[in-house]
Amino acid sequence: MAELMLREAILQTLFSEMERDENVVVLGEDIVGGMGTDGGPEAIGGIWGTSTGLYDKFGGDRVIDTPISESAIIGAAGGLGLTGKRPVAEIMFADFLGVCMDQIWNQMAKFRYMFGGKTECPAVVRMIYGAGLNAAAQHSQAPHGILTSMPGLKVVMPSTPADAKGLLSTAIRDQDPVIFLEHKALYAEKGEVPEGDYTIPFGHARLAHAGEDVTIVAAGLMVKFATKAAKTLSEQGIGCDVIDLRTTSPLDEEAILDSVENTGRLVVVDESPPRCGLATDIVSLVTNKAYASLKAPPEMVTSPHTPVPFARELEKAYLPSPDKIADAVQRTLAWK
């Protein structure tokens, strides 16, 4: 298998899916253009480098630079999906979700239901999210909890290059709207990626680390932090299951509950604030369906209920960390 960075796995998948199906089109801000440089088209390939070369290969009919209007991007993607295309729209920063909320939440997510099952909207919206790069409060948020709460959407959060490829292929071939969340701090992560056609079904979590004492549930960048904490704890004789959710909608409830029934302890790690988020959702699931298995109250390791700070040290303090996760694991083990 080839070793790729996560951003390279995304780009490779876009190439292969566009070659496989002529109905796949990509659109977004600066995904073609030179951004004012002397290089012209393809000088940049998007600010994240996840569309470099697509324009040269597939042309302007299938690789579309858009105006700076997220609502227009999602509106166009929804219309393309309804009329037989398979759009892959890029939202440069997930924080801009606010200005395209109506198109996502009130239109795209509801098409199948509003039209009595007679229409499908196979559209993928790639959103780049997350803190850790000093991009400040309006470019660093993690809105997966908001998106997961919306019926009609599938929500994907890859944590490895291999999963980025397998899950993005599945997303592009899906018949319903999919929100594909890429953490900006994971783009340079390297890992082996299967070659050839490779898909991963939605709703199937991955066991990123195995142990018998505590279950840690995470998604996206938090899987990396949780795995690091689990490896440190294993040197102290403490075994942790780390469940990588991969998709938050659909959610692999069985994987979570099976693990908690085995370990009796739960720590949920979530980059977003604690109120009405993914962590509270997972804790609610476990306390409702596996309460008798718990040996200690569940722990949540989340960001505080504040905007993301700009200052480097404050942002570092804002995010969950391997040390904070390890401390939460120790608290569950010490509880009597």
97-109 per-position pLDDT tens digit: 999 999 999 999 9
Q: Point out the domain boundary residue: 193, 221, 236.
A: 193
- 26-44 in b/e form (b: 16+ CB < 10 A) is bbbbbbbbeeeeeeeebeb
Amino acid at 312: R
Q: What is the CATH number of the domain that holds 315?
A: 3.40.50.920
Q: What is the CATH number of the domain that holds 177?
A: 3.40.50.970
Residue 144 is assigned to a structural domain of this protein: yes
What would the pLDDT profile of 236-284 be if each residue is shown by its tens digit? 999 999 999 999 999 999 999 999 999 999 999 999 999 999 999 999 9
What would the pLDDT profile of 4-56 be if each residue is shown by its tens digit? 999 999 999 999 999 999 999 999 998 886 545 555 555 566 788 899 889 88
What would the pLDDT profile of 167-177 be if each residue is shown by its tens digit? 999 999 999 99
139 tagged catalytic:
yes
Q: Point out the domain boundary residue: 193, 214, 249.
A: 193
Residue 230 is assigned to a structural domain of this protein: yes
What is the edge-to-edge ordering of all strands in the sheet holding 247-249?
Answer: 63-65, 24-28, 86-91, 124-129, 178-183, 154-156, 247-249
Residues 168 and 246 in one domain: no
pLDDT of residue 80: 97
Mean pLDDT of the chain: 95
Q: Point out the domain boundary residue: 193, 228, 243.
A: 193
Q: What pTM value is reported for the model?
A: 0.96
d(CA 104, CA 127) in angstroms, rounded, equals 12
Nearest to 300 by CA among 324, 335, 334: 324
Does residue 204 have a pLDDT over 80? yes
- How many independent structural domains does the chain possess? 2
Question: What residues make up the domain containing 306?
Answer: 206-334
pLDDT of residue 47: 81
